[in-house]
Copies of this chain bind each other. A is one copy, B any other.
Amino acid sequence: MKEEFLLGKYSVAIVGATGAVGTKMKEMLENSSLPIESIKFLASKRSAGKEISFKGVTYLIEELVNDSFEGVDIALFSAGGSISKQYANEAVRRGCVVIDNTSAFRMEKDIPLVVPEVNSEALKNHQGIIANPNCSTIQMMVALEPIRQAYGLDRIIVSTYQAVSGAGMSAINELKTQTSQMLAGETKVEANILPCSGDEKHYPLAFNALPQIDVFSEDDYTNEEWKMVNETKKIMEDDTIKVSATCVRIPVMTGHSESVYIEIKTDQVTPDDIKNILSQSEGIILEDEPKEQIYPQALTSVDKKEVFVGRVRRDLDVTTGFHLWVVSDNLLKGAAWNSVQIAERLHAMSLVRVNN
């Protein structure tokens, strides 16, 4: 096996190719500038043999096994944390760079957790695995990093309005079924997946708001809430930032919304100052014209790569406090696009090893 550190044409694999995020990873790669020589689509035995189209060419989905990664340069994982734990190191052992969209490795000290607009530099220290942050964290980081750079960031309090597609295809279908049934007048609808497939009880999401995403953990915060807290500190490389989160699932298919309160470290800053900075920042579209009723919406964020920020306004009491409304397509910037963007950066920074 000849190994070279050079710009080249990559052999790419998607692990979890049939999932809600995997499908979007394929679309993002089809439109990516990443020079791809070959691609393979990996999934469970159940999906193996099915056809999938990439740039007009039909591929067969292959069953995921350790040897799937022979000769692969870049693998995008989005098939659940246990699959990542089982296969990511096997892939790395074969010379592959893994960009992992699960929570399996995010908080491991030596594994970079990357939002390209925020901390691409962390990619330089990668040892084979790069973690993609949680969807709700990513969009908040894109919105807040330019403000932090300009004014310092002391505190974040976030309440989320998260879409069901973050919980995968089966959760999307469950919401659709429940919604049809409730529109038809049924009052008792079945729930088998949400709020969290791995937990004991399940509740309808249709016409409801569920203040639980992932399982409950320390201090009665959910894992999703802890992810927002811990990942923020790791990505911003600042353990002193105060962060608390309340994570809520609402009946939206795609597009996470977030009500974000921040306190900055600089006095005399106005909402217009913050809007000016946001409007010039990478990956952000400022949608903030209250008089014209222009503000970010989940529905209008779908299929877009950017993070939309609006409703920027001063806190009514704390002079360094501001409120923002942050929306993004959770399957794209929150997952597939951020992963492909990391691959593009690795390429641009010559950090991918080409296995011939």
Contact = CB atoms under 8 A, between A and B. Distances in A.
Contacts of A246: 159, 259, 311, 323, 325
A210 B159 CA distance: 15
A251 B253 CA distance: 11
B297 A251 contact: no
Contact of A161 (B250, B295, B296): B250
A248 to B, nearest CB: 7
B323 A244 contact: yes
Contact of A297 (B210, B297, B311, B318): B210
Contacts of A208: 252, 255, 297-299
Interface residues of A, number: 60
A60 to B, nearest CB: 29
Contact of A204 (B159, B183, B299, B323): B299
A149 interface: no
A315 interface: yes
B317 A220 contact: no
A233 to B, nearest CB: 11
Contact of A219 (B207, B310, B313): B313
Given A157-B261, A244-B323, A246-B259, 11 more contacts: A159-B159, A159-B246, A161-B248, A183-B183, A203-B299, A204-B299, A207-B298, A209-B250, A219-B316, A220-B311, A251-B252
Please list the 3 inter-chain residue pairs (A to B) with the smallest Cβ-Cβ separation, ordered nearest first.
A242-B317, A159-B259, A159-B159
